[in-house]
Chains A and B, each alone.
Chain A
Amino acid sequence: MTHVIIGNSAAAVGAVEGIRQLDKESPVILITEEPHHTYSRPLISYLLSGKVTAEKMNYRPEDFYVKNHITTMFGRKAAAVDINAKAVILEDGGRVTYGTLLIATGSKPVALKLPGIDSESIFPFYTMKDAFALKQFIRDGMKAVVLGAGLTALKAAEALTTSGVETTLVVRSRILRNFLDPGATEKLSLHLSENGLHLAIGSEPVGITGENNGLSVRLTDGRILACDFVVSAVGIEPNKELIEGVQIATEHGILVDQALRTNVPGIYAAGDVAQGLDLLTGCQRVIPLLPVAYAQGEAAGRNMAGGNAVYAGMNMNAISFFGLPLISAGVIHEEPADEVYLQKSQTEKMYRKLVIRQNRVVGYVLVEQIDRAGLLTWLIREKVNITGFKATLIDGSFNHACLPPKLRREKIAL
């Protein structure tokens, strides 16, 4: 049975490893549009700021595909899937037949519709190629406007600022609102401003004018921001063009069950393109985060190789800006019936929010003091009943010695 993978990022790599854990023999073919080895997409901002060199962008070692006996088809775009003939049709006319197929085509930047957006001085920031193009272009002392309030926009803005570019981030509502609650956003916003990143909060761009001698970005609040270039990172969406017109069920992403199966037998989806199970809600949701993509890919790979893996993902995010670390997981925005416990420092950046629902931890946000956050992630993931040690969670002293003996021994095999 030939396993075919479309994509070359975290979900695809997870699938390669998942397949090879169970099946060392079957042919595996990996088809990818990007003409190079797998790289870590979250590192593109590090590439831009110079913290990471091009050689260190690899998500897996150079010999990864050779060692795993994978036939790679780099720089080849999959154009369509023929589910009756069980074949992937390539844009260049090629045809690859499959026994099992994984669609791991990721996401693509949302195109901003705005007068003047076609200017050559407007940069996307999503691929390694985008990061190189921007790195080539920027000079110390330039001015930039970054559009967007998500992880990508913020990391781009940070990298530009540390590269000596005077940068303004234009944010419609609130920065990182999918990962931070308003209290943590406040701490982060202050920290960003202190480090020289300008924030234009509560406004949207209405148009961009100008060309070579500089751009002007007009905002809804009437302000006009003069700059040398604009970075547009307003969001991403599942890249599911490939299956247009095919009988694979989709909503926002490709719908998959807990085994990462689509509705078509033999076809799986994983990563940013997939709308898989959310551990906390039990609903299907696109969770475009690298750890989720990898784990979905690995589970899909095991199943393609005849295994019996299941996976449900959840929000979990660790990120730093100008040296300030933040981690959040699970439910960030509480519901009225939830209990919320806050600890914050008036003078420092420290902030800690814990969300408890029916005697279970369902979410947390940590700023600055992030050590051992995984203990909380574990409580969320395992839905551990915290009766008996809840007070230690509230005061922040929680550790494994606080767990009931039976649970502690099970977890640590004492």
Chain B
Amino acid sequence: MKRIRIKEEYCIGCRLCEVHCIAAHGKYKNDLIKTFKRDCNRPSPRIVIEEKEDTCFALPCRHCREAFCIRSCLTGSMTRDPETRLVHNEVERCVGCWTCIAACPYGAIVREGRHTKIAAKCDLCGQDPACVKHCPNDAIVYEEVGEDDHYDACNHR
């Protein structure tokens, strides 16, 4: 089971992770120029830079083992993949009620775009996260975690 680990000490807040996340989830897959020049309804980044003064780090969905978003979802669109254990939003069933946004302790679920009433979140880009690939400092790394690793804040509830 691989997850994104955050290395606060290496992050310089360049926001390339956000840029590549947007491009990876847009209609011009991974093409930065087309995504930012042509797609006026391009997706929201599923990873955000948390920043105050000298502190910054990138934060995507933790795929919590006890996920508040899944429990709170009104339609049942927020589910856990039985194989990968990833938290996944089935967009066909999502109605954009934003209850997951109210529930997520990490603020890691976003409104998809300006005109799309769908909740969007990190899907680890199908096991090859664009944010990690393009981070110049290895401030986010994609690595194996154990079932019992302390990984999210919700795992003992």
Contact = CB atoms under 8 A, between A and B. Distances in A.
B51 A401 contact: yes
Contact of B153 (A56, A317, A392, A410): A410
Interface of A: 14, 40, 42-43, 46, 51-52, 56, 58-60, 290-291, 294-295, 298, 316-320, 325, 327, 329, 370-375, 377-378, 381, 392, 397, 399-402, 410-414
B92 A56 contact: yes
Contacts of B111: 371
B17 interface: no
B99 A291 contact: yes
Contact of A374 (B51, B56, B74, B106): B106
A291 B71 CA distance: 6
Nearest 3 CB-CB pairs, A to B? A372-B107, A291-B72, A378-B105
B57 A414 contact: yes
Contact of A401 (B57, B101, B117): B57
A413 B96 contact: no
Contact of B95 (A52, A316, A414): A52
Chain B interface size band reads 35 or more
Contacts of B1: none
A58 B76 contact: yes
B97 A413 contact: no
16 contacts: A42-B74, A51-B95, A290-B99, A318-B97, A318-B98, A318-B102, A320-B117, A327-B98, A372-B107, A373-B101, A373-B107, A377-B102, A377-B105, A378-B153, A399-B51, A412-B6
Nearest to A379: B105
B28 interface: no
B100 to A, nearest CB: 8
A375 B105 contact: yes
Contacts of B110: 371
A43 B75 contact: yes
By CB atoms of chain A within 10 A, which of B50, B99, B153 has the most? B99
Contact of A377 (B6, B50, B103): B103
Contacts of B142: none
Contacts of B153: 378, 410-412
A392 B50 CA distance: 13
Given A51-B95, A319-B97, A378-B106, 16 more contacts: A43-B74, A46-B95, A60-B76, A318-B99, A318-B101, A318-B102, A327-B98, A370-B101, A371-B101, A373-B102, A392-B52, A399-B50, A399-B51, A401-B56, A414-B6, A414-B7
B36 interface: no
Nearest to B149: A413
Interface string B1-35: 00001111000000000000000000000000000
Nearest to A297: B71
A325 B98 contact: yes
A399 B107 contact: yes
A202 to B, nearest CB: 29
Contacts of A56: 75, 92-93
A373 B101 CA distance: 6
Contacts of A412: 6, 57, 59, 62, 106, 153
A136 B117 CA distance: 26
Contacts of A14: 71
Contacts of A291: 71-72, 74, 99, 103
B109 interface: yes
Interface in B90-148: 92-93, 95-107, 109-111, 117
Contacts of A401: 50-53, 55-57
A42 B51 CA distance: 37
Contacts of B149: 413
A398 to B, nearest CB: 9
A320 B59 contact: no
Given A329-B102, A374-B101, A59 B76 contact: yes
A58 B79 CA distance: 13
B95 to A, nearest CB: 6
B73 to A, nearest CB: 8
B37 interface: no
B116 to A, nearest CB: 12
A14 B28 CA distance: 39
Contacts of A316: 72, 99, 102-103
B38 interface: no
Contact of A327 (B74, B75, B102): B102
By CB atoms of chain A within 10 A, which of B57, B102, B149 has the most? B102
A410 B52 CA distance: 18
